[in-house]
């Protein structure tokens, strides 16, 4: 019998980046060490390395956990108390910085406005100027997202009904390989990493990832875990699906130009076709279905769309500033690719 993938492994706990993440990681290692008061979370930089890593580590307890960390800490009351304070700080910043107003379809239409000449776009940069080392860095950083692909979004399914639920499950069915383990999109991304000779697997590049990458993952985990944010999660999911197909086409071509192998190209080629279909399902069934059932959630859907754009823009600025200067975008001393 052929084994299509190895049993799931737990990543090593990351290295702390400040007092908050140090307290969380120490608690995860010991199970008993004290945690900082909520006031410390309220003072932290909401987009900074320390708060983002602390949140990421706490959310990871709901995914695979960490090697050597007790599973029972997933529902530790003190960790949940601290997490709530970190979430409040992060959400307050997102709501202040993500532009409000307009309807969901308007917010989705804005996503299709391409920057003039492709400026300020990672996929345009990699298509035109990218080198293989930059594609490897991008693959390593994005592994934090793509090796979780579709997992946090699945949490919203029990909170939807009718058209929205049916449309969401249809898209997720494709994301999980349409019944074929070898076609699960996270599996295809693992194949991409191997093709590009990027070492390590799930969670392996956490220490190398800047806060801008962590925040993309923590936001979708936050939205997914809270029923109150189901509208924002649908908005986030819609933003990803609407923008995926054209960006994936550029990334597939960038890999062909730079000598990426067939498995690397396949991941993005798969998304060109699949996400063009998914976009229509998300627009006309998931978003429209949710708002037909719960029209009061439209501002939340818009928030999810624009918060996603905000964090992706911050990540893009970080990557392009480094690459245009000929520098690695990975955290100093944490090279993983």
Nearest Cα residue to 233 out of 146, 285, 304 = 304
Same domain, 67 and 133: no
Same domain, 145 and 56: no
Summarize the confidence of residues 28-57 as an average pLDDT: 95
Same domain, 248 and 313: yes
Using one digit for the tens of pLDDT, what is the confidence trace for 287-296?
999 999 999 9
Of 52, 76, 97, the one marking the end of a domain is 97
Using one digit for the tens of pLDDT, what is the confidence trace for 92-103?
999 999 999 999
For 298-326, give one letter per residue: b (16+ CB within 10 A) or e. bbbbbbbbbbbbbbbebbbebbbebbeee
Q: Is residue 66 part of a domain?
A: yes
Using one digit for the tens of pLDDT, what is the confidence trace for 193-241?
999 999 989 999 999 999 999 999 999 999 999 999 999 999 999 999 9
Residue 120 pLDDT: 83
Q: How confident is the model at residue 2 (pLDDT cuts 50, 70, 90)?
A: very low
Q: Is residue 5 part of a domain?
A: no
Q: How confident is the model at residue 271 (pLDDT cuts 50, 70, 90)?
A: confident
Same domain, 112 and 197: yes
Mean of all residue pLDDT scores within the chain: 93
Same domain, 118 and 167: yes
Cα 313 to the chain's mean position, in Å?
A: 13
Task: Give 220-248 as a DSSP string.
Answer: HHHHHH-GGGHHHHHHHHHHHHHHHHHHH
Q: Which residue did the predictor score with more confidence, 267 or 4?
A: 267
Q: Is residue 1 part of a domain?
A: no
Q: Is residue 13 part of a domain?
A: no
The total number of structural domains that make up the chain: 2
Half-sphere exposure of 8 (CA within 13 A, CB side): 10
Same domain, 65 and 117: no
Same domain, 84 and 26: yes
Percent of the chain past pLDDT 70, that is, above it, reads 95
Summarize the confidence of residues 290-311 as an average pLDDT: 98
Of 52, 67, 97, the one marking the end of a domain is 97
Q: Is residue 8 part of a domain?
A: no
Contacts 24+ apart (CB under 8 A), 317-323: 317/120, 317/212, 318/210, 318/212, 318/213, 319/122, 319/138, 319/141, 320/120, 320/122, 320/125, 323/125, 323/130, 323/134
Same domain, 126 and 234: yes
Q: Is residue 11 part of a domain?
A: no
Same domain, 82 and 229: no
Predicted model pTM? 0.94
Domain extent at residue 85: 19-97
Rounded Cα distance, 280 and 296, in Å: 22
Of 81, 97, 113, the one marking the end of a domain is 97
Residue 7 pLDDT: 54
The total number of residues written for the chain in this structure: 337
Q: Is residue 337 part of a domain?
A: no
Same domain, 89 and 236: no
Same domain, 92 and 146: no
Same domain, 249 and 109: yes
Summarize the confidence of residues 280-293 as an average pLDDT: 95
Residue 4 has pLDDT above 50, yes or no: no
Rounded Cα distance, 218 and 284, in Å: 27
């Amino acid at each position: 019998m052929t084994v299509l993938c190895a049993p799931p492994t737990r990543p090593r706990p990351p290295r702390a980046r400040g007092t908050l993440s140090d307290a969380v990681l120490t608690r995860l290692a010991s199970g008993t060490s004290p945690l900082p008061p909520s006031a410390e979370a309220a003072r932290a930089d909401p987009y900074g390395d320390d708060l983002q890593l602390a949140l990421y580590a706490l959310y990871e307890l709901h995914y695979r956990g960490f090697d050597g960390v007790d599973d029972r800490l997933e529902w530790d009351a003190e960790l949940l108390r601290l997490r709530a304070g970190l979430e409040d700080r992060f959400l307050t910043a997102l709501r202040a910085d993500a532009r409000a107003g307009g309807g969901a379809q308007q917010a989705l239409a804005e996503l299709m406005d391409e920057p003039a000449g492709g400026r300020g776009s990672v996929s345009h940069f990699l298509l035109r100027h990218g080198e293989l080392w930059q594609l490897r860095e991008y693959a390593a950083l994005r592994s934090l997202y793509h090796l979780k692909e579709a997992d946090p979004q699945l949490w919203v399914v029990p909170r939807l009904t009718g058209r929205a639920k049916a449309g969401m499950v249809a898209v997720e069915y494709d994301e999980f390989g349409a019944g074929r383990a070898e076609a699960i999109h996270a599996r295809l991304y693992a194949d991409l990493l191997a093709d590009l000779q990027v070492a390590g697997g799930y969670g392996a590049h956490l220490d190398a990832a800047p806060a801008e990458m962590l925040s993309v993952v923590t936001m979708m985990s936050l939205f997914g875990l809270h029923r109150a944010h189901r509208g924002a999660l649908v908005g986030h999911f819609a933003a990803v699906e609407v923008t995926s197909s054209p960006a994936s086409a550029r990334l597939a071509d960038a890999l062909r130009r730079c000598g990426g192998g067939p498995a690397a190209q396949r991941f993005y080629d798969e998304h060109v076709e699949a996400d063009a279909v998914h976009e229509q399902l998300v627009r006309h069934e998931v978003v429209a279905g949710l708002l037909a059932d719960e029209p009061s959630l439209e501002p939340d859907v818009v928030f999810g769309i624009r918060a996603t754009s905000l964090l992706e823009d911050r990540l893009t600025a970080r990557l392009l500033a480094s690459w245009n200067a000929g520098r690695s975008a990975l955290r100093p001393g944490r090279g993983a690719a």
